[in-house]
Structure 1
Amino acid sequence: MIPHPPTPGKFAFLVHPRSAVATDMARVWRPLGRIPARTWEYGLRRLPVPPLRLAAVHRRDATTDEPAGWILVVPATPRQLLTEDRGWVLSRVESAIDRAEALGAGIVGLGALTAPATRAGRMLRERPGLAVTTGNAFTAHLTVEALRRLAGAASGSHLAIVGATGSVGSCVVRLLSEEPIASDLTLVSRGGPRLEALGDEVRGSGVAVRTATSMDAVRDADLVLVLTSAADALLGSQHLKRGALVLDDTQPRNTDPRLRSERPDVLVIDGGVAAVPGIDIRGDIGLPRGLAYACLCETMLMSFDGQTTSSTGQADVGHARRMRDAARRFAHLGFTLAEPLSFGRPAAWPDAATATASVPRGV
């Protein structure tokens, strides 16, 4: 296929099947859902499966029915993206970017684990005329908005951030250091100089800051933010105090689904989701219509706004503010914090009186 020249305002966004591989592949073509998970693991590793088109994205204010962008599936499981040799992983992601260029995309967004698997895009080869973004800056902005909504309902003022030194996490920490929402802050990551440096950086904000390398450190937290990049659930019932509020920004999710039945006192909100009533996503991305993931929204906003500079590596506060401002310019299309979901089901923002009693409708 001969690539089209990159088109201003056209974008592509990369996703991959999550933990339930067959379920997500069925979103591309329903019969694919009948293939067992083990077969998918083998087939995606051994066979030359091409990147697949999941959805076309249209603006409702457009004067034509031309798509503004596309959502493409990188044929690799979460475990493969995190554990296979880098050459194989990069070849899968680069192949999807080739497909994006062939469609005429001028900007490509790295969704879910395609960002950490490519070191936030830094391992990808440069392509003239094509910008790449991780989507992490707008995710950080929207995460802070959600934390502010939840902080007022938390039973105390202890916030724990799991995955604090990651691209989104470090940006969230810096945004919060400017306008704190908690008097106690615990930063959790794998450790090392980056964790201690981040802790030292924000200790002057008037907040008591602790650093930790174990999930056990969140057991006293009233509000927990999860920003890890793992193939499986990391946060379970044993890690949470009674009445804790959890914001899970991960895809695939890193909170244990058994929390819904084991801990009715805990409310888990699915983070990183924006309302986009002015965007028509013609395909199943695993969210109700009118909603989109924040990283996808950043890709759209950069494309609509005509931004041509890549945003790879660590998300920074300056770019988060630029994305906030772009969202305001395109407010007629949405790009605002969505009404909450919990494990994919409609929920309600808790208030101080009902925080411990709030559970998703339909549970």
Structure 2
Amino acid sequence: MARIWRPLGRVPAPAWEWGLRRLPVPPVTLATVHREDAEPGPAGWIVVVPVGARQLLAEDRRWVLGRIERAVDRAQRLGAEIVGLGALTAPATGAGRLLRERPGLTLTTGNAFTAHLTVEALRRLLPAAPGAHLAIVGATGSVGSCVVRLLADEPLGADLTLVARGARRLGDLAADIRERDAGIAVRTSTSMDVVRDADLVLVLTSAVDAVLTSAHLKTGAIVLDDTQPRNTDPALQTERPDVLVIDGGIAAIPGIDVRGDIGLPRGLAYACLCETMLMAFDGGTEQAIGEASVDHAVRMRDAARRFAHLGFTLADPLSFGRPVAWPSPAREAVLS
């Protein structure tokens, strides 16, 4: 919330966290969503849960769930039939599984379309990574596991290093990938140290603070950061000018008018928000909670193609919110 609700950025975090914890702050309607190909009036709403990022992961679970439940109630009162869980509200609710069921309401984490757009971004970035060695940090999470399975089904020719905290889940995921594609090179680690060998690093963690720092990256590495709030250290901008950090999980939506400040330039939206839109526009009623599935990612890809007149394509790249160019493909010299 602190990232997109700009007025709170002027208040010291401990102060507004204290206030949010003790005062009956209601959910806030931050923005409305309008389609250029539809009748006037909102097609949807963006509702802020009045809980700080650190609170979502660290406060008493019942209190956090209560705040999120009230935001879902508000969305339903506004008329929403599809509700998406953005940023850290998905991990805070066990990917939606801890929220109560509501007749007539469909929930999504937005993670499947995020996984699809992430793979699209990797397709753009891998030609610029000379060693074609990809490390995925947070590989066993909802988005991460879906990305890994998508890569196994349509290999990009990169060796994979999967990084996460749980060795057992890592082993199970690696075994699944090898079953899907016996020729794919996969190794696993619970240590961030292995990231130093990677030419391209994908960050898919759910943390409040920076997980990836200058010390983790080799010279000339490319980083795709799919996290909200960001889990790459902003100091990379000055400490490591040799490293390119791309803000991931962002789509271009020129045919959608988001009337409100969501922390992105006009015409752009986070992939999780786009999945919620696509499900609403496409009449989806199947819950998309828990671990994101390859099947649902494919459905969201196909829905994006049906609504291509509105956008839902990979956005031009940003780095720490500023426009940059896609890196050029690496060039090799052959001496004889």
Q: Same fold (TM over 0.5)?
A: yes
Please provide the CA RMSD for this pair.
1.2
Q: Per-residue deviation at 1:252?
A: 0.1
Q: Give 1:124's aligned residue.
A: 99
Structure 1 pair 143–234 and aligned structure 2 pair: CA distance change class (3 A): same
Q: Provide Cα deviations, 1:88-136, integer angstroms capped at 9, x if missing partner.
A: 0100100000100110100100000000000000000000000000000
| TM-score normalized by the length of structure 2 | 0.96
Unaligned segments of structure 2, at least 5 residues: 332-336
Q: Provide Cα deviations, 1:229-279, integer angstroms capped at 9, x if missing partner.
A: 000111000000001111000000000001011111110000000000000
The DSSP-based 3-state class of the residue aligned with 1:161 is strand
The one-letter code matched in structure 1 to 2:25 is V
Q: Per-residue deviation at 1:181?
A: 1.6
Q: Per-residue deviation at 1:17?
A: 2.5
Q: Give 2:205's aligned residue.
A: 228
The one-letter code matched in structure 2 to 1:25 is W
Q: Give 1:360's aligned residue.
A: none
Alignment of 1:173-212 (within 5 A): 173-204=148-179, 205=181, 206-212=183-189
Q: Count matched residues.
A: 329
Q: Per-residue deviation at 1:203?
A: 2.3
**Deviates further, 197-206 or 114-123:** 197-206
2:144 and 2:9 mapped to 1: Cα distance? 34
1:243 aligns with 2:228: no
Preserved CA contact (<8 Å) 1:17 1:75: no
Q: Per-residue deviation at 1:353?
A: 4.6
Q: Provide Cα deviations, 1:62-88, integer angstroms capped at 9, x if missing partner.
A: 122x10000010011111100111100
**Deviates further, 33-42 or 315-324:** 33-42
Alignment of 1:109-188 (within 5 A): 109-188=84-163
Q: Give 2:83's aligned residue.
A: 108
% of aligned pairs identical? 74
| TM-score normalized by the length of structure 1 | 0.89
The one-letter code matched in structure 1 to 2:314 is L
Q: Provide Cα deviations, 1:4-63, integer angstroms capped at 9, x if missing partner.
A: xxxxxxxxxxxx334xxxxx433xxx5x55432221110011111110111011001112
Preserved CA contact (<8 Å) 2:251 2:274: yes
* Correspondent of 2:278 among 301, 319, 330: 301
Q: Give 2:237's aligned residue.
A: 260
Q: Give 2:334's aligned residue.
A: none
1:311 aligns with 2:288: yes
The one-letter code matched in structure 2 to 1:38 is P
Q: Give 1:43's aligned residue.
A: 19
1:97 aligns with 2:72: yes
**Runs of 4+ more than 3 Å apart:** none
Preserved CA contact (<8 Å) 2:167 2:190: no
2:126 and 2:320 mapped to 1: Cα distance? 20
The DSSP-based 3-state class of the residue aligned with 2:261 is coil
* Correspondent of 1:272 among 236, 249, 265: 249
2:282 and 2:44 mapped to 1: Cα distance? 14
Q: Per-residue deviation at 1:182?
A: 3.5
2:111 and 2:288 mapped to 1: Cα distance? 9
Q: Per-residue deviation at 1:179?
A: 1.6
2:235 and 2:209 mapped to 1: Cα distance? 13
**Deviates further, 333-342 or 183-192:** 183-192
Q: Give 2:55's aligned residue.
A: 80
1:179 and 1:322 mapped to 2: Cα distance? 16
The one-letter code matched in structure 1 to 2:293 is D
Unaligned segments of structure 1, at least 5 residues: 1-15, 19-23, 355-363
Q: Give 1:17's aligned residue.
A: 2
Q: Per-residue deviation at 1:202?
A: 1.1
Preserved CA contact (<8 Å) 2:54 2:208: yes
The DSSP-based 3-state class of the residue aligned with 2:202 is strand
Preserved CA contact (<8 Å) 1:17 1:73: no
